Amino acid sequence: LFCSGSRSSKTFKPKKNIPEGSHQYELLKHAEATLGSGNLRMAVMLPEGEDLNEWVAVNTVDFFNQINMLYGTITDFCTEESCPVMSAGPKYEYHWADGTNIKKPIKCSAPKYIDYLMTWVQDQLDDETLFPSKIGVPFPKNFMSVAKTILKRLFRVYAHIYHQHFDPVIQLQEEAHLNTSFKHFIFFVQEFNLIDRRELAPLQELIEKLTSKDR
């Protein structure tokens, strides 16, 4: 655990661990090593000879953990009172539905929405039929569409943090951490075309700013 400065190591939900010694753990280590080189475009590329599903799975777990931690640092600022709706600026409001327990989208506060969202993601990451952690167990045929929906929704947490809680992020000196994490996320979803451009609209200007330096 790193406890640099004021950064709290509390996560919003328990961290999802990739088992050590597994192939996915090796992939995660590979991703971390390439990230360390600072070249994010290179870091997101599918390593030679690797399975795309597995690469997307490992990175989805990693982004869940990153967002989990980033949101965990600002939960004190994201309350029923401060954020009665789940929004990303005045033009974008999200209503929650998971398609199973809640079929008709409900309007709820941001903390409630993010709680639903992160629990929903967690349940899927823990589901061995969707995210197999054992070598040789195949990914389901619909894996990519499952991953796309997860990433599309995780993006909304970044969008909410940027639009509604950027001041506390700056006060907590988490800005560089948030930007690096988001930039990594964007490069990843762009590399494999995982999120529709219109879904990214709430942070379009920021995305252009963060990615223009690395063309």
User: Is 165 annotated among the ligand-binding residues?
Assistant: yes
| C-alpha 85, offset from chain centre | 20
Q: Which of 64, 47, 79 is nearest to 181 (CA)?
A: 64
| C-alpha 147, offset from chain centre | 11
- Helices (H), ranges, the chain: 23-36, 40-44, 52-74, 110-125, 143-164, 166-171, 175-191, 204-212
DSSP letter string, 81-123: TT-SSEESSTT-EE-B--SSS--S-B---HHHHHHHHHHHHHH
Question: Roughly what angle, to the nearest 10 degrees, separates helices 143-164 and 52-74?
Answer: 20
CA separation, residue 184 to residues 18, 40, 63, 101, 207 (Å): 19, 6, 9, 32, 11
User: Is 160 annotated among the ligand-binding residues?
Assistant: yes
Binding positions for Zn(2+) are 78, 83, 160, 165
Binding positions are 78, 83, 160, 165
